[in-house]
């Protein structure tokens, strides 16, 4: 994802989930060989940019995923709900207890197009990639869409 979106996600945690934010800040500080108290005194824009860059490291994937999950479930609930509603998947505010083992191609394509038309493409790409990688159920047709739809590509 773009550094700007990564910083927005970190900023969201800073404003809305202090416990998660402090945990991630402490981990990033340790990774950067800094004391958390010192790192916290860094001006917020520079601190958040450094956090975003550091969280991109594979070793910190769990912490980045926690930030992402928090942002998706609290900030992006309408997008999650729209996607799941379009698929006919039962959910509570975008959270699903039991995903179907598979979905048909046409409804999946329609659901993806629906949220791409309504929400910023980068945010949709982040959500759909997270949805695919963070769930135990993996839909091969979603993987194919993620790999072939240029609006869902990162770094382009």
Residue corresponding to tokens 């996607």: 83
Same domain? 103 vs 43: no
- Name the residue range of residue 25's domain: 3-74
Q: What would the pLDDT profile of 78-106 be if each residue is shown by its tens digit? A: 999 999 999 999 999 888 888 899 999 99
Is pLDDT at 155 greater than 80 in this prediction? no
110 with 47, same domain: the answer is no
Query: Which of 74, 97, 129 is at the close of a domain?
Result: 74
**Who contacts 86 (Cβ-Cβ below 8 Å, separation ≥6)?**
107, 110, 111, 114, 115
- 40 and 50 part of one domain: yes
What's the pTM?
0.89
């Amino acid at each position: 994802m773009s550094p700007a979106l990564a910083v927005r996600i970190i900023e969201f945690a800073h404003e809305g989930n202090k416990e998660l934010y402090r945990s991630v800040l402490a981990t990033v500080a340790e990774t950067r060989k800094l004391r958390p108290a010192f790192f916290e005194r860094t001006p917020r824009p520079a601190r958040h940019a450094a956090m975003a860059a550091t969280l991109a490291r594979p070793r910190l994937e769990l912490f980045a995923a926690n930030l992402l999950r928090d942002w998706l479930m609290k900030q992006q609930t309408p997008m999650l709900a729209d996607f799941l509603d379009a698929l006919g998947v039962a959910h509570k505010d975008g959270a699903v207890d039991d995903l179907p083992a598979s979905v048909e191609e046409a409804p999946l394509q329609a659901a993806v197009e629906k949220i791409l038309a309504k929400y910023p493409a980068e945010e949709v790409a982040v959500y759909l990639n997270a949805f695919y990688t963070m769930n135990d159920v993996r839909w091969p047709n979603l993987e194919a869409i993620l790999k072939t739809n240029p609006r869902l590509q990162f770094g382009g």
